[in-house]
Copies of this chain bind each other. A is one copy, B any other.
Amino acid sequence: MDYILENLLSEPLTPWLSGSGPEGEIVLSSRIRLARNLKSQPFPGRASAAKLGEIMAELKAVPAELMADDGHEYVFVELEKLSPLARYVLVEKHIVSPNHVADPKNRALVVRDDASVSIMVNEEDHLRLQCLEAGLNLTEAFAKATTVDDIIEATHTLAFMEHIGYLTACPTNIGTGLRASVMVHLPALALTKQMGTMVAIATRLGLTVRGLYGEGTEATGNIFQISNQVTLGRSEPDIINNLNSVVKQIVDKERMARSLLINETPDVLADRVWRAYGVLRYAQSLSASESLALLSEVRLGIDLGVIDEALPALFNQLLVTTRPNFLQNLSGEVALNQAESNKLRAKLVRLSLQGN
């Protein structure tokens, strides 16, 4: 089943990047993450190497359990057996976290053939189960996560306490262990300088807004992750409904900002997005952040019907293929320096756009 891993590393397009799904022109993907721990073992941060090994050994059975339920193929990947580069490609594809690969010994990943279900083993918790859907579809992602969770709970005894809920390594995850998040593309709110207000409102409503690559990263490409902060004292449906309704409001605001741009300053908008397209189509060197910024403008142009030469899926695909480690993986063994990486990135973007 190495081909699953192989595809995951070399194919740019995971299904949740297909550009389809509800509100797909603004919401790229929806994600549900559940934090779970085995009752019989200490949390990974306090576990010895031997204990971590025992946890891995117990959870090796999970792929077979899941396969029996949905018929999809699942693979159990020991991170230590991957090259450092392969690990970073998985980070760029949002399949594992930077923390998870930082010390790969006794860490593993369970992943479904289409990458829409994955479980980090021995990250901060024993199990970090993640389900992804294209567009705004938290309900479907949660339903899928619940199924996976139930299957695991049927065979493994999890750390759970009446009146509190699931126990987790970090108190901020205790209770439901649930993090619901969506990845949204908000170029018009960014262009019209409304993101500051938007972040403040979301924060007051118990949500966190971050950049594309998790905490501390800037929102390059105008792509933001919006997720719940509170996991304790609220039911799962409450958490999901709250996030869902705030995201819908943000989507509306983004739509209004887009209407404003296309109606009030159509020429300025057209000039801006076509210039971005022109630079992407002909540049011979592109940094990761410049290409994200330009791709964001082009995607806005596609969404508003100004640019008709490229497809939404292409934009989403390029979000992944222009990442440094994905590029390095493409180019094979020899380590790329910055200039070479920027050159390869520009070539890849040119080829993609000319193929349209």
Contacts and interface: CB of A to CB of B under 8 A. Distances in A.
Contacts of A270: 284
Contacts of A346: 271
Nearest to A346: B271
A59 interface: no
Identical copies of this chain, number: 2
Contact of A267 (B275, B280, B284): B284
Contact of A282 (B268, B277, B285): B277
Contacts of A275: 279, 282-284
A51 interface: no
B282 A281 contact: yes
B267 A343 contact: yes
Nearest to A266: B284
Contact of A279 (B278, B285, B343): B278
A284 B277 CA distance: 12
Contacts of A284: 267, 270-271, 274-275
A198 interface: no
A172 to B, nearest CB: 45
Contacts of A282: 274-275, 277-278, 281
A339 interface: yes
A20 to B, nearest CB: 27
Nearest to A276: B282
A154 to B, nearest CB: 57
Interface SS, A side: helix
A309 to B, nearest CB: 9
Contact of A278 (B268, B278, B343): B278
Interface residues of A, number: 18
A37 to B, nearest CB: 51
Pick the most buried of A270, A284, A339, A346: most chain B CB atoms within 10 A of its CB: A284
A267 B343 CA distance: 8
B271 A283 contact: yes
A257 to B, nearest CB: 20
A268 B277 CA distance: 20
Pick the most buried of A267, A270, A275: most chain B CB atoms within 10 A of its CB: A275
A271 to B, nearest CB: 4
Given A271-B283, A275-B283, A278-B280, 19 more contacts: A267-B284, A267-B339, A267-B343, A268-B285, A270-B284, A271-B284, A271-B285, A274-B282, A274-B283, A274-B284, A275-B279, A277-B278, A278-B278, A278-B279, A278-B281, A278-B282, A278-B283, A281-B281, A281-B282
26 contacts: A267-B284, A267-B285, A267-B339, A267-B343, A268-B285, A270-B284, A271-B283, A271-B284, A271-B285, A271-B346, A274-B282, A274-B283, A275-B279, A275-B282, A275-B283, A275-B284, A277-B278, A277-B282, A278-B278, A278-B279, A278-B280, A278-B281, A278-B282, A279-B279, A281-B281, A281-B282
